[in-house]
Amino acid sequence: MEKASISRRKFLKNLGLAGAGVLMASSPWLSAFAESDKTSRYKVKIGIIGPGSRGQFLMSFLTKNPKADIVALCDIYQPSIDEALKLAPKARVYRDYRALLDDPNVDAVVITTPLDRHYEMAMAALDAGKDLFCEKTLCYTLAQCYEVYQKHISTGRILFVGQQRLFDPRYITVMKMIHDGTFGSINAIRAYWYRNNNWRREAPPELDELRNWRLYKQHSKGLMTELACHQLQTGTWALRQIPNKVMGHGAITYWKDGRTVYDNISCIYVFDSGVKMTYDSVISNKFYGLEEKILGSKGTVEPEKGKYYFEETEPAAAFVRLINDIEHDIFDAVPFAGTSWEPESANENKGEYILGKSPKEDGTSLMLEAFVEAVISQKQPERVTEEAYYSSALSLLGHQALEEERVVTFPDEYKLNYLNHVHNPILK
Amino acid sequence: MQQLFRQIDKDRELVYAWFEAMHTRIDLVLWDTGEADRLSCAVQAIEEETRRIERMGSRFLPYSEVSRINDAAPGCPVCVSDELCALLARCLDYRQRWGGLFDVTACEGVSCRLEEQRLSVCAPYVARADETVRIDLSGCLKGYALDRAVSLLRKQGIGNGLLSFGNSSVFALGNHPKGEGWLVAEADSPDRRHVLHDECLTTSGNNTGSRRHIVHPLTGRMVEGRHTASVVTRSGEEGEVLSIVKFLSDSLSASFQDKAETGCIRLNQKK
Ligand SMILES: NC(=O)c1ccc[n+]([C@@H]2O[C@H](COP(=O)([O-])OP(=O)(O)OC[C@H]3O[C@@H](n4cnc5c(N)ncnc54)[C@H](O)[C@@H]3O)[C@@H](O)[C@H]2O)c1
């Protein structure tokens, strides 16, 4: 057992995550790696449903994982199959996902189809006894998300949703700092994603809906389900609370090209304490990019940029280097000694990097490794699905608020026994 | 105060804490086995102690004990704490021992001859000799506070840490988690490194040609020129006194102006 935990520590340390044990309190799903050194002789046989752009990206990691084998592919668009076969040439090809689910050779399924397809495929996969990795947003409606979650509980199958920030070393590290109180009390989160493109793929009219499903209401909820979903999660993770109210407005103000999803949205999520998380997205200006600014009484975190800032005196660069050296087992001199420091000589507040300048990865590969480990050990990591369920739920409720132009309250019937929803009276 | 915690390994925790006090910044790195809470309490106790000493000895705070002495009429004894009396009495000793080069009553424009009694200390009373006397403990208060911080840690059983009071007074307690003692380099010349173990590195002087803030007590003139002097001692207070004395002695040498620093002398006697 001791050996296992040492090896897990080493594994996470390679990703820039020191002291994995301590991080577990903030990110309990890292327990997925608890037995990673004992599972090397296993191979999970995986089927991919909808290996389009995201599916192929996920495959590129899975093909490098010696514990995973992609044995089946299913798509209704030949170019996607052709591309996916380049990554997994030996995989069996299916046209109908149900046939793939009937394949007894498949242990686990990855769903990367358009949003409106998720529910039916996810339910069928869990019913077929497959462990499931479903891309975000979990489903097209909150009711469907709830059903899939309950199906995961009743079947006991593993369920992961593609919320890779949960496995991003920068987020994991900084959430621990937030939970330790490093930045004081968090009273506001300002999240946004700005892009400047039409989000449209070239396609003949008969393939437009299949290729550009993101632009049409019947398949997607646009910016809320495609982008916000990832970022709203930062709020619940940081505050360990679910906001119970949301209001907002959505419109098409620039890309009036026949799309039916908004290209300009703003939402305000309200936590019970009155703390607010705002979410904005426009796709006609990209200057500010994306961020989730976490505003605490003692400091600010910009996890996308990978930086944090203190309100008052900044930490001394030499001391930050010293503690980083210590974490990396380095015994070296740090240059700071000299004549007395005076406040007048303080520099502009440039902030500190959470994990160095260039992050090693965004969490996707670690998330997939965690999924494979969970399938092998048949242990659902704590909280990973609940966090993802609520990211989906919040993005869908936000969308509802935009559509109905009213304050939407979190419906009791879709609350899980989780965080501040734990006293939900309608739960047994 | 702000704090950052790190897990060094399974059993050891580290805290880095920093805050501004005494018109400078204080940086503390401590590590120990066991609970992070203990380290957090220790750095908070150091902050409280430092602020208490500042309230006692800063001439910039209008209600400090030192300000009360400075504001009282010359010759009029002011009743102060035993602690401040003891500190001032030591300062008078340093003045005698170092031929008047260390003088907490030094003041620009006033030459303070060694024979002259500028301050009378007779616990619990302190009195200024005349209107030109202004107590300024900037030359030793950080070192004193640093010594107090180290003794607080020792009392709490925390044996390892690096404590910097304004970068100019740096105490290395025990060991770095990955080596023996602590390695500290100088900001202006990183190649100049010091291995410190239960010792204090203190630097005085002008880090730039334009900075001037130390008065030569015997001449009453501000010392000019880019020059620093460092000493390694057992205590922070002693370190501050000796680094100033060394800086002022250096200032008499012909090569003072063009030599940026004269190197560090170790004054501590290792057992
Ligand atoms: N986690 C992330 O950061 C991230 C990033 C991008 C996309 N995604 C998610 O991944 C999913 C897919 O997005 P994408 O960009 O890859 O879309 P895509 O259009 O590139 O790929 C979807 C694929 O599904 C196939 N498909 C559609 N209907 C099907 C059916 N009935 N049976 C089998 N295959 C079918 C399509 O032909 C296509 O190959 C979405 O849910 C999206 O939100 C997640």
Query: In which band, very low, low, confident or very high, does the pLDDT at A4 lie, cut at 50, 70 and 90?
Result: very low
Does B175 touch chain A if contact means CB atoms closer than 8 Å?
no
Partner-chain contact A330 B178, CB within 8 Å = yes
Query: In which band, very low, low, confident or very high, does the pLDDT at A137 lie, cut at 50, 70 and 90?
Result: very high
d(CA A122, CA A146): 12
The two tokens of residue A238 are 């940081």
**H-helix or E-strand spanning residue A385:** helix A384-404
Partner-chain contact A18 B7, CB within 8 Å = yes
Contact A277, A243 (CB under 8 A): yes
Q: Phi-psi region for residue B34, left (φ > 0), alpha (ψ -120 to 50) or beta? A: left
d(CA A259, CA A253): 11
Mean pLDDT computed over A216-241: 97
Ligand 1 site-directed mutation target among A75, A119, A230, most atoms within 8 Å of CB: A75
d(CA A369, CA A377): 12
Q: Counting atoms of ligand 1 from 1, which one is nearest the CA of A77?
A: 37
Mean pLDDT computed over B229-234: 92
Contacts with A210 (C-beta within 8 Å, 6 or more apart), sequence order: A76, A77, A203
Burial class (CB in 10 A: 0-12, 13-18, 19+), A22: middle
Query: In which band, very low, low, confident or very high, does the pLDDT at A14 lie, cut at 50, 70 and 90?
Result: low
The two tokens of residue A24 are 């577990």
Does B243 touch chain A if contact means CB atoms closer than 8 Å?
no
pLDDT at A116 over 50: yes
C-alpha A113 – ligand 1 centre gap (Å): 4
The two tokens of residue A354 are 């959470």
Contact B187, B181 (CB under 8 A): no
d(CA A64, CA A81): 19
Which is it for the CA torsion A352, A358, A359, A360, positive or negative?
negative
Three-state SS at A268? strand
Three-state SS at B31? strand
Contact A44, A376 (CB under 8 A): yes
Looking at chain A, the whole-number percentage of residues with pLDDT higher than 90 is: 78
Residues 2-41 of chain B with CB under 8 A from chain A are 2-10, 14, 16, 18-20, 23-25, 27, 29, 31
pLDDT at A426 over 80: no
Chain A residue whose CA is closest to B14: A323
Contact B240, B139 (CB under 8 A): yes
Contact A416, A394 (CB under 8 A): no
Q: Whose CA is nearest to atom 28 of ligand 1?
A: A113
The pLDDT score that the predictor gives to residue A304 is 94
- Best of A312, A323, A339 to disrupt the B interface (most B CBs within 10 Å) is A339
Contact A394, A232 (CB under 8 A): yes
Does A341 touch chain B if contact means CB atoms closer than 8 Å?
yes
Contact A184, A51 (CB under 8 A): no
Mean pLDDT computed over B26-53: 93
Best CA proximity match to A324, nearest among B198, B185, B29: B29
Residue-wise pLDDT for B195-211, tens only, equals 999 999 999 988 777 77
Mean pLDDT computed over B111-140: 92
User: A148-162, B28-42, B56-70, B206-220 — which is least confidently predicted?
Assistant: B206-220
Looking at chain B, the whole-number percentage of residues with pLDDT higher than 70 is: 94
Does A320 touch chain B if contact means CB atoms closer than 8 Å?
yes
Partner-chain contact B29 A319, CB within 8 Å = yes
Partner-chain contact A337 B170, CB within 8 Å = yes
Ligand 1 site-directed mutation target among A85, A113, A219, most atoms within 8 Å of CB: A113
Ligand 1 site-directed mutation target among A77, A112, A223, A229, most atoms within 8 Å of CB: A112
Contacts with A276 (C-beta within 8 Å, 6 or more apart), sequence order: A188, A189, A268, A269, A270
pLDDT at A18 over 80: no
pLDDT at B110 over 90: no
d(CA A226, CA A115): 9
Partner-chain contact A316 B183, CB within 8 Å = no
Which domains, and CATH codes, for chain A?
2-164 (3.40.50.720), 165-361+381-427 (3.30.360.10)
ipTM: 0.90
Smallest Cβ–Cβ distance between B186 and the set A312, A326, A338 belongs to: A338
> CA neighbours within 13 Å on the CB side: how many for B75?
1
* pTM reported for the whole predicted model: 0.81
The pLDDT score that the predictor gives to residue B6 is 87
Q: Whose CA is nearest to atom 40 of ligand 1?
A: A114
Which domains, and CATH codes, for chain B?
1-271 (3.10.520.10)
Q: Rounded mean pLDDT of chain A?
A: 92
Q: What is the CB neighbour count within 10 angstroms for residue B256?
A: 17
The pLDDT score that the predictor gives to residue A427 is 52
User: A6-15, A230-239, B108-117, B166-175 — which is least confidently predicted?
Assistant: A6-15
Three-state SS at B181? coil
Residue-wise pLDDT for A308-359, tens only, equals 999 888 889 899 999 989 988 899 998 888 888 887 766 677 888 888 777 6
Q: What per-residue string of b and e applies to A80-117 under the rule 16 or more CB within 10 Å gives b?
A: bbebbeebbeebeebeebeebbebeebbbbbbbbbbbb
Chain A residue whose CA is closest to B23: A342
d(CA B216, CA B227): 14
**Which phi and psi angles does B4 have, rounded to 5°?**
-125, 135
The pLDDT score that the predictor gives to residue B199 is 95
d(CA A138, CA A121): 11
The pLDDT score that the predictor gives to residue A108 is 98
C-alpha dihedral (B208, B211, B217, B221), degrees to nearest 10: 110
Does B197 touch chain A if contact means CB atoms closer than 8 Å?
no
Q: Rounded mean pLDDT of chain B?
A: 89
Chain A residue whose CA is closest to B230: A338
pLDDT at A101 over 50: yes
pLDDT at A85 over 60: yes
Residues 78-137 of chain B with CB under 8 A from chain A are none
- Best of B178, B214, B240 to disrupt the A interface (most A CBs within 10 Å) is B178
Contact A221, A395 (CB under 8 A): yes
CA dist list (Å): B44 to A104, B15, B27, B64, B153: 61, 11, 12, 22, 11
The pLDDT score that the predictor gives to residue A382 is 95
Smallest Cβ–Cβ distance between A19 and the set B7, B203, B204 belongs to: B7
Q: What per-residue string of b and e applies to A405-416 under the rule 16 or more CB within 10 Å gives b?
A: eeebebeeebbb
